[in-house]
A and B are shown apart, each in its own frame.
Chain A
Amino acid sequence: MQQAWGRLWQKMGIRAARQAWGLAPAGQAWALVGVARHESDLWRVQVATWLTPPAGVPVVDASWLSQALSDVPRPKAGTRHRLAMGMPEQNLVAGQMTCPVDVPQETWPVEVQLEVAQALNLPPEDVNFDFEPEALGTGAVHQIRWVGCARALVVDYQRWIGAAHGWHLSCVEPEIAAARRAAQALVGGLPSLLQQAPQDWQFRLGSDKESGDLHDDGMAGVHWERVFQEALASPAGPRLVASGLALKAWT
């Protein structure tokens, strides 16, 4: 009962949000995109910028990000801004596991945590993860998809954002998922990614039927996937990821 209230409360907060931010790594730099709701089903990029490290900063240390974020000009400077960050694929492990239906849901996190720890070769307490069960089929097992990473990476993210004044880290998501969300919601489809400046990008959430059809539609799906991978690898890729991360606030 309390969980249901909590979810409803969270959902109401998300629905009421007018602006969200995404931050995606791009080599040493980071792509920061702020997306604002323009109409009931239309979102626009409000801010798209690169955060680059000052000269002389060690490659592995991204502490400069805190200061860079604090310096970003934002509307409603007094409030805390919701920020989602992307986790590169190379830092992630993902997989599927089966769980008998008689295993209680409360024990799933432990099962997944052990699975992730095993995949990363880390102690269970040193991993962060998330999972989602697939719709129950006819079998007597649950299929659970999971993704995980080293806890140290998430702790770094939390430390950087925690030190940045006026920001709140709400989500750390695999980059590919965020990019796919943004690509599917992009008004004009993937071609407009390269034809328009990021400041002109517009997104329509809830219209992924079109891309879903593409996925399901044999050759067209393969073609879409190839264009998507090319876009992801292009200079616009990190901004696409950042846009998708920002859009997660409304999904």
Chain B
Amino acid sequence: MSGFNLLHFPTLDRQQSRRRQWRAVWTGVGLGAVLAGSWVQWQSWQTDKLHQSLHELQGQLSERKRQIESRQQQAQKNEILRQQLDQLMRLQSQQQAWTLLQSSVLEEAQSLGLSLQRLHVEAGRIDIQGQAPTAQAMTRAVQRLSERWGQPLHLVSLEASSAAASVVTFVWQGTWPGVADGVVSLNKAKP
């Protein structure tokens, strides 16, 4: 009878079973708290991670936007430069055409003894005014220039000079096509 304790049944046994129940409850509560804490911690960790990802993505988005804006600005600059280049090329062509026109007119005038008083080009129309020693020289010159340019020149007015009987004052008029075309025509017409 060394191990007997008369408190054991039913008193201690009841207390022990109650204690066991409480222990189970508290163990459950503790375990639940630990699990809940772990879950919350994990969620917090995940949220932090997502925030970090979001921050990185926002950074990347901002960078892309900045790059797009930069490229758009660059494209606009390129467009402006291209337009300026076109404009310059057009001006260069017109300059060349004008030079050719002038040189060809001066060349013919010199060879036939014509004296040019006015050369005017405006809105695709060319007006040439001058004096020729003879009407034949003026006619020959207008033919040669028309052939050379590939564009007909029309005699608008012809007046005899009062100082010398054979000298005539003339005004030619013709259409002056686009600068590029004009240049080509002049180049083609050149012997």
A154 within 8 A of B: yes
Q: Which residue of A lies closest to B19 (CB)?
A: A6
Total interface residues in chain A, CB < 8 Å? 31
Cβ-defined contact, A172 with B6, below 8 A:
yes
Which of B17-39 touch A at CB < 8 Å?
19-20, 23-24
Which among B8-16, B84-92, B149-157 touches the partner chain?
Answer: B8-16
Distance in Å from the Cβ of A197 to the closest Cβ of chain B?
A: 26
Closest residue of A by beta carbon distance from B5: A171
Does B2 count as interface, using CB distance less than 8 angstroms?
Answer: yes
Does residue B163 face the partner (Cβ distance < 8 Å to A)? no
In contact, A6 and B23 (Cβ under 8 angstroms):
yes
Question: Which of A6, A130, A176 has most B Cβ within 10 Å?
Answer: A130
Contacts of A128 in B (CB 8 A): 6-11
**CB distance A130 to B11 under 8 Å?**
no
Tell me how many residue pairs across A and B have CB atoms closer than 8 Å: 67
Q: Is residue A113 within 8 Å, beta carbon to beta carbon, of the partner chain?
A: yes
- Cβ of A147 and Cβ of B1 under 8 Å apart? yes
- Is A177 engaged at the interface, CB distance under 8 Å to the other chain? yes
B191 interface contact, C-beta 8 A:
no
Contacts of B6 in A (CB 8 A): 87, 128-130, 147-149, 154, 172-174
- Whether A144 is near chain B, meaning CB under 8 Å from some CB there, is no
**Does A181 count as interface, using CB distance less than 8 angstroms?**
yes
Q: Which of B2, B19, B20 contacts A180 (CB 8 A)?
A: B2
A14: B residues at CB distance < 8 A: none
Q: Within 8 Å of chain B (Cβ to Cβ): is A206?
A: no
Counting CB contacts under 8 A, is A94 at the interface?
yes
Q: What are 11 residue pairs bridging A and B, where the CB atoms are less than 8 Å apart in the complex? A: A87-B6, A94-B1, A109-B13, A128-B7, A130-B6, A147-B6, A158-B11, A173-B5, A174-B4, A174-B6, A177-B2
**Which residues of B come within 8 Å of A, CB atoms?**
1-11, 13, 16, 19-20, 23-24
Q: Which are the 9 A-B pairs with shortest beta-carbon distances? A: A177-B1, A172-B6, A130-B8, A130-B4, A171-B5, A128-B6, A129-B9, A147-B4, A2-B20
